Structure 1
Amino acid sequence: MERYTTYAAFFDFYLSEHDKPATRALHYLGSTFGITALILTVAQRQPLWLLAGLGTGYGCAWAAHFFVEKNRPATFTYPLWSFIGDYHMFGLWLSGRLPERLKRFRSTPGTTPQG
């Protein structure tokens, strides 16, 4: 497996590992749980919400990989970049820029999702 040395190269790989809309939807759900847990942690000064947010966030994401996309989560090899990638993809989706980014990614030779 190729080792990525830049986040930009990793993010192209990351998008290829999130090719199916259901995979991305489960990631958005997990990211929403994570953000909600962070807000609750601050608002209630209860750090256990962070554990709940991590558990539900990663639970949704990993379920998507194991049962929908049928691939290995990037978190296992690139934990920090994968975490950043989740919110990068989420932000692109919320801003409406994800379809254009996926279109650009899919039109670049050598960046097609691995089956």
Structure 2
Amino acid sequence: MNFRSLEDFWAFYMNQHSKASTRRWHFAGTLFSILFFFCSLLFSWWFLLLVPFSGYGCAFYSHLFVERNFPETLRHPFWSLMCDFKMFGFMLTGNMDREIKRLGKRPVLQVF
């Protein structure tokens, strides 16, 4: 698929993250990546090795076992990373449900 803008990709990205559990796994991975990045600045550069493993590990797990789709970061690495931080921001501020409604998508209800 070819996307003309980040906004076009964002709508597709959110469709690939329809389950709340998938978004939570991404949030956790992004949060750990940020924490490990700051630990590398404050303590030791070795923490940098944990940045991609924590972020991508949580994301890939959620796509393979929760959402059951293919991680788009392999096809569109830059836009996926940008949208991951955008989703992280919406979740951090409590605006994710509003954004899902704006895009015209219904969140998939889950027990977990």
TM > 0.5 between the two? yes
- Indicate the residue corresponding to 2:110 in structure 1: none
Structure 1 residue aligned with 2:39 = 40
Per the TM alignment, residue 8 of structure 1 is displaced from its structure 2 partner at its CA by 0.8
Question: Counterpart of 1:57?
Answer: 55
Cα RMSD over matched residues? 1.0
Amino acid at match of 1:99: D
**Equivalence map 1:9-28=2 (5 Å):** 9-28=8-27
Name the % identity.
34
SS at match of 2:103: helix
Q: Which amino acid aligns with 1:62?
A: F
Counting matched residue pairs gives 105
Compute the TM-score of the two structures, normalised by the length of structure 2.
0.89
2:49 maps to amino acid: L
1:61 shift after superposition? 0.3
Structure 2: runs of 5+ lacking an equivalent = 106-112
Q: Does the residue aligned with 2:3 lie in a helix, a strand or coil?
A: coil
Secondary structure of the residue aligned to 1:24 is helix
TM-score by length of 1: 0.87
Instruction: Identify the match of residue 77 of structure 1 among 75, 78, 83.
Output: 75
Unmatched 5+ stretches in structure 1: 108-115
Letter in 1 for 2:37: L
Q: In 1, Cα distance between the equivalents of 2:18 and 2:78?
A: 20
The alpha-carbon deviation at position 69 of structure 1 amounts to: 0.4
CA distance in 2: counterparts of 1:101 and 1:29, whole angstroms? 19
User: How far did 1:62 drift?
Assistant: 0.3
Aligned twin of 1:7: 6
CA distance in 1, matches of 2:47, 2:104: 37
Matched residue of 1:19: which SS?
coil
Per the alignment, residue 88 of structure 2 pairs with 90
Supply the distance in 2 between the matched residues of 1:6 and 1:52 (Cα, whole angstroms).
30
Amino acid at match of 1:33: F
